[in-house]
Amino acid sequence: MQIRDLPYPDPGDPDVRSGPRFLFWLGRNQLRGQLKSMSWGLLHQCSLAGLPPAVGFAVQAVVDRSGSRLAWSGGLIAVLGVLIALGDTMLHRTAVTNWITAAARVQQLLARKTAELGAALTRRVAAGEVVAVSTGDVEKIGWFVEALSRFAAAAAALVLICVGLILYLPSLGVLVALALPLLALAVLPLLPRATRRADLQREKAGKATELASDTVAGLRVLRGIGGEELFLGRYRRASQEVREAAVRSARMWSLISAIQVLLPGVLLISLVVYGATLARDGRIEIGQLVTVYSAASLLLFPLRHFEEIAMAYSFSRPSAQRAVRVLSLHRTDRPSTVDATPTGDLYDPVTGLMAPAGLFTAVVCGDPDEAGRLAERLGGHAHGDADSGGVGNGAEDSTEDGASDSTDDAASEQKIPSVLLGGVPLDELPLDSARTAVLVQDKDPVLLSGTLRELLDVPSSGRVTAQDALSAARCGDVLDSLAQASVATDGDPMTTRITERGRSLSGGQRQRLALARSLVTDPEALVLDEPTSAVDSHTEARVAAGIKALRQGRTTVAFTSSPLLLDLADRVVLVHRGTVVTVGAHRELLHTDPRYRAVVTRETDDEIAVLTSQDAINPIRTIEEVEERA
């Protein structure tokens, strides 16, 4: 695989049983690249190993006053120099290719998993963790894959050099061969502690970054309440903790590096002293001593790869474990059995919620969190558990090493039936068909940076234009603001850039633009979670009318407690503790159901009791009486 061939047509099915298994899977899928890099590494290392004999032959030729042998030695050194340059260049090229292609494979796997899970991903894994995995952790994983081939080449070169030294000069070669394993393994006892300190540093750095991001996002509010100094003090303390953790981690890695320098130095000193004694006694020649000493000196270079692979594995193992935690999540374990996108009623067998095809259904939940979970479930994005009354809360168990317990997740998913669209379970649909059939808009939708035209350029049925969607969402004032901010001479709001997450817009403007984006897609069933919570009542009434008019004949479900939306709905459903308890029209339910009236009119328990007793004596007959009592 070459960099120019990226992205992969299919990144593969990763082994997500553990972090080390995932790293092994990555290396196995790049076997050709690893072998190519290892071959160039062997050429580089063996060419380096050939320099000491050539230098030794040259020194001995000078001692023996042999011009022909000196010329041959000089030619050999020149050839070895060319091979060293070629091997080093191609080793770097192939190793970096392995790094980039491995990182690209992991990023493609993460992107595929994100698209598969949709908004349910952040309910099961923190959004910050997903970002950390797709940025810093991907680089560390790629580093290990890149270092693996160079380490294999260095290890093979060490074995060849030791065997060659033993055959060339057993008296000194045996000393070098016995010392090398000790040099290579001397730092292993220190690696677990160094790894723990590095993990602690990354954890504290992540918290400091999260604190800084939250501070920047809420800077306007902080200035309003005078809280800048408070958060500045918190960030100072967090940054000092990061600094202290980094210093402690650096001390351990510097100790490891010092050992890697000290022990080879002791070997070289011992080799010189012992070799000089042998040369003085006439048991070896000067050229042989120079050859063995030069070879031992060059052995320090491949030995550094042992330290590097240890560091790379120590850093990449927790990174791979975090990647596995994301990649091990599943939308469903059932195979897709339906090809065409179904139509019909949207039904949740767990709560009993029914949204008839072609109607505008409003759902009232006393618990906003329960409403959000149910909205995700209607889109087939989340699965529930027994403790949540059938509505998924996105929680997941983890093993001690951080990996998700997929067995428990699978068992939980099997217990709870899927939402049905036209009688077809959503989790049996192909992913593309499920996304086309049901669209869920979160309570806090995200606007990506780009122009307004790019924002509304989403996969759609083609029946709803961008202008129709903007008009239904009552975005006239938003278009005026964007037109004034446009850099184009014609003031076209569609070409005006929207900043990241729509920070240049108000909350209501962001919410209406997100609603317009959802309306453009024109799905078979549209699920809206509090679509008008950030606008005033006048705008809310106009938006509600626009939604109903544009979605006429299409299935729409809105989770809301706004009387303006509820009054326009074709039917209203009250969900209490994970179960549908009543269905009817808004005004009818205000008359007949105290629980519904309590949620919609924000009544307290005492007020409910008083009104219930009054209703028993003097039944309410008109909606005006309800509004007066509320």
Can you list the domains of the chain with their CATH numbers? 3-327 (1.20.1560.10), 346-445+518-584 (3.40.50.300)
- pLDDT value of position 59: 81
pTM, whole model, 2 decimals? 0.60
The b-or-e profile of 505-542 (16+ CB within 10 A means b, else e) is beebbbbbbbbbbbbbbbbbbbbbbbbbbbbeeebbbb
Residue 72, classified by CB atoms within 10 Å of its CB into exposed (0-12), middle (13-18) or buried (19+), is: middle
- Count Cα neighbours of 285 within 13 Å in the Cβ-side half-sphere: 14
| Dist CA 1 CA 282 (whole Å) | 56
| Dist CA 203 CA 318 (whole Å) | 11
- pLDDT value of position 556: 95
Structure-token match 């070895």, residue found: 80
| Dist CA 532 CA 538 (whole Å) | 11
Residue 21, classified by CB atoms within 10 Å of its CB into exposed (0-12), middle (13-18) or buried (19+), is: middle
| Dist CA 586 CA 563 (whole Å) | 8
Give the DSSP per-residue string, 185-200: HTTGGGHHHHHHHHHH
Counting every residue written for the chain, the total comes to: 630
Please, are residues 566 and 572 in contact by the beta-carbon 8 Å criterion?
yes
Tokens matching residue 200: 């602690």
Contacts of 498 (CB under 8 A, 6+ apart): 447, 449, 450, 451, 452, 455, 482, 504, 505, 513
The CA distances from residue 197 to 187, 203, 469, in Å, are 15, 10, 53
Question: Does 459 sit behind a cis peptide bond, omega within 30 degrees of 0 on the bond before it?
Answer: no
Structure-token match 């993990």, residue found: 199
- Count Cα neighbours of 104 within 13 Å in the Cβ-side half-sphere: 18
CB atoms within 10 A of CB 154: 26
| Dist CA 16 CA 20 (whole Å) | 9
| Dist CA 435 CA 439 (whole Å) | 6
- pLDDT value of position 621: 39
Conformation bin of residue 358: beta by default, left when phi > 0, alpha when psi is -120 to 50: left
Of the candidates 532, 361, 374, 502, the one whose C-alpha atom is nearest the C-alpha of residue 440 is: 374
| Dist CA 569 CA 363 (whole Å) | 10
Residue segments in the chain with a per-residue pLDDT below the cut of 50: 333, 383-414, 611-612, 614-630
- pLDDT value of position 287: 72
Tokens matching residue 240: 């000092």
Tokens matching residue 268: 């070289």
Task: Give 209-224 pLDDT, tens digit per residue.
Answer: 777 766 666 666 666 6
